[in-house]
């Protein structure tokens, strides 16, 4: 325990010394964060503070090679004798390098994800991997060959979760510090000395950096810091699994990392639902919402610190909880999360009618919904028409299905004139509709009116009519005429998918006319 405390304070002291030097280095090379409409600061600030955290973290282990530290020989042997640590170091070097390069050159999201995935693969190759996951409903899930993609997903999720909450002074660093302390306590309780020593060094380097990063910040950790912290927290949460608690091994860090993980997952869902690009930054994260509620930067950060500490307490309670107690803790936690989302004003995205409408629209686009499949059946019948009469009868059925009141087909091309004149005089009865043919300039005009509708009476209330004129055009050389659809909006509004299906109908009619 003495060694753990010593390493913590060495890392903290190293970070206190190195952070100002890194800030000067960033100013010298122009690696600063300029104010913009998304950032909350109003002056250029150095942005590679993650380098100071990274260096202080590794400096903390240097004294172990010198005599005088309690249990230093044992700890040094553990560090050297565990082959997994070599892969952990390699992965951390990869993420800090890409983070510094991203701070100076702004990499594309796909390149960043690719390099992060490479670092995650290095960790997996070093046996730092997720083999099993516990769920409240079905219990343990053994991943077997899926261990690699699951491990990559977890590490990428935590890296980008820390990156996304790095929007206020001291927020990402402070949340990472409290998560480190929770994982440190869990490692000590589980007698996992090696991850405890590493977590102590990480926590100390973060605490020293917070001296300069807390509001008002004099340096930002940048992508280099968020990538490094995210990678270390993700891998150490796997490395420090508690003996006898394998089923809760990943559930505990998930809860401890609740603030960044919830913000990341919700941001992804929110952007997807409203049609925004998933990787484009915005100002609708949890910390931005707190600022919109009138809180100061410092108060918003302190509140999120408190939430992280509370989640850490929940995580600690799970260590010795029985199955029924675990379920109760997760239930209470879920209720609190929903309450917090509602309090932040996100509930508008979760209203039942909005979610139902979004799911319904998704089903319609994918062709799963009954309405979409029914109209597709009408399209198929329309495309199978062998005469103009057949085509018109199917158009009339489609107009009835779409709840239009009047439909008229005007033919104009010479080809259609010949086909119309050669049309059979034998009329088929259209179910539930009455179609008629009139003459205009020698061409037949097909008219249909819904039963009970007076077409002449509608002319007196034209202000309420929704009228669509659809040119039946295949290309510049082939124009078959016009299809007109009319609906009385005073009686009933236009359906949500009507315009989309009308366009489907128009294309089907044009293709069918080409084949007749």
Q: Which domains does the chain have, with CATH numbers?
A: 2-247 (no CATH), 370-515 (3.30.450.40)
Label residue 119 by pLDDT band (50, 70, 90).
Answer: very high
Give, in degrees to the nearest 5, the angle at Cα 330 between 327 and 335. 125
Show Cβ contacts of residue 88 under 8 Å, excluding neighbours closer than 6 positions.
Answer: 123, 126, 128, 235, 239
Q: What's the pLDDT tens digit per position in 491-503?
A: 778 877 788 889 9
Q: What's the pLDDT tens digit per position in 357-406?
A: 555 556 565 556 677 778 888 888 888 888 888 888 889 888 888 888 88
Label residue 515 by pLDDT band (50, 70, 90).
Answer: confident
Given a cut of 60, whether residue 440 has pLDDT beyond it is no
**Under the phi-then-psi rule, with left for phi > 0, alpha for psi from -120 to 50, and beta for the rest, what region is 324?**
alpha
Given a cut of 70, whether residue 7 has pLDDT beyond it is yes
DSSP string, 381-396: HHHT--SHHHHHHHHH
Give, in degrees to the nearest 5, the angle at Cα 355 between 350 and 361. 155
Q: Which residue has the higher pLDDT, 63 or 223?
A: 223
Percent of the chain with pLDDT over 90: 22
Percent of the chain with pLDDT over 70: 73
pTM for the whole structure? 0.67
Q: What's the pLDDT tens digit per position in 214-233?
A: 888 889 998 999 999 999 99
Range 246-266 average pLDDT: 72
Q: Of 7-21, 170-184, 302-316, which one has max mean pLDDT?
A: 7-21
Among 57, 210, 236, which Cα is nearest to 155's? 236
Q: Of 130-144, 200-214, 335-349, 390-404, which one has max mean pLDDT?
A: 200-214
32 forms beta bridges with: 46
Given a cut of 50, whether residue 209 has pLDDT beyond it is yes
> What tokens were used for 66?
């010198």
Contact 291, 169 (CB under 8 A): no
- Between 308-312, 318-322, 472-476, the lowest mean confidence (pLDDT) is in 318-322
């Amino acid at each position: 325990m003495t060694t753990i405390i010593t390493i913590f304070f060495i890392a903290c002291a190293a970070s206190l010394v190195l952070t100002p030097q890194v800030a000067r280095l960033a100013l010298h090379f122009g690696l600063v964060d300029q104010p913009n409409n998304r950032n909350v600061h109003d002056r250029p600030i150095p942005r590679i503070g993650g380098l100071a955290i990274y260096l202080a973290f590794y400096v903390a282990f240097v004294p172990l090679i010198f005599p005088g530290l309690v249990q230093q020989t044992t700890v040094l042997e553990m560090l050297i004798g565990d082959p997994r640590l070599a892969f952990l170091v390699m992965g951390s070097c990869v993420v800090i390098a890409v983070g510094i390069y991203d701070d100076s050159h702004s990499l594309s999201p796909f390149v960043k994800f690719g390099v992060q995935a490479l670092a995650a693969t290095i960790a997996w190759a070093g046996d730092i991997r997720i083999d099993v996951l516990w769920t409240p409903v079905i219990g343990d899930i053994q991943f077997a060959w899926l261990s690699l993609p699951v491990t990559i997903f977890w590490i990428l999720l935590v890296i980008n979760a820390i990156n996304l909450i790095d929007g206020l002074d001291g927020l990402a660093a402070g949340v990472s510090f409290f998560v480190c302390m929770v994982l440190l306590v869990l490692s000590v309780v589980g007698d996992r000395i090696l991850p405890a020593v590493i977590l102590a060094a990480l926590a100390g380097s973060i605490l020293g950096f917070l001296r300069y990063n807390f509001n008002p910040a004099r340096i930002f950790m940048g992508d280099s810091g968020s990538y490094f912290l995210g990678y270390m927290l993700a891998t150490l949460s796997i490395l420090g699994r508690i003996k006898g608690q394998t089923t809760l091994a990943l559930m505990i860090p998930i809860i401890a990392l609740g603030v960044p993980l919830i913000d990341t997952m919700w941001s992804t869902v929110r952007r997807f639902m409203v049609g925004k690009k998933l990787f484009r930054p915005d100002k609708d994260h949890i910390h931005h919402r707190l600022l919109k509620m009138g809180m100061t930067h410092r108060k918003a950060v302190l509140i999120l610190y408190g939430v992280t500490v509370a989640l850490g307490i929940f995580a600690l309670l799970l260590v010795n909880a029985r199955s029924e107690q675990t379920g109760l803790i997760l239930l209470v936690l879920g209720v609190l999360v929903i309450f917090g989302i509602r309090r932040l004003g996100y509930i508008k995205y979760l209203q039942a009618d909005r979610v139902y409408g979004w799911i319904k629209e998704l089903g319609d686009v994918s062709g799963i919904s009954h309405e979409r499949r029914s109209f597709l059946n009408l399209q198929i019948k329309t495309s199978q028409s062998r005469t103009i009469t057949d085509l018109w009868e199917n158009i009339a059925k489609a107009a009835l299905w779409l709840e239009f009141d009047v439909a008229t087909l005007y033919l104009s091309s010479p080809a259609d004139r010949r086909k119309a004149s050669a049309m059979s005089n034998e009329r088929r009865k259209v179910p539930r509709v009455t179609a008629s043919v009139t003459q205009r300039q020698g061409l037949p005009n097909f008219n249909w009116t819904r039963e009970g509708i007076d077409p002449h009476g509608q002319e007196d209330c034209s202000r309420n009519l929704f009228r669509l004129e659809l040119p039946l055009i295949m290309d510049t050389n082939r124009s078959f005429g016009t299809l007109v659809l009319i609906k009385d909006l005073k009686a009933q509004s236009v359906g949500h998918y009507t315009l989309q299906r009308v366009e489907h109908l128009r294309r089907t009619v044009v293709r069918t006319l080409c084949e007749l």
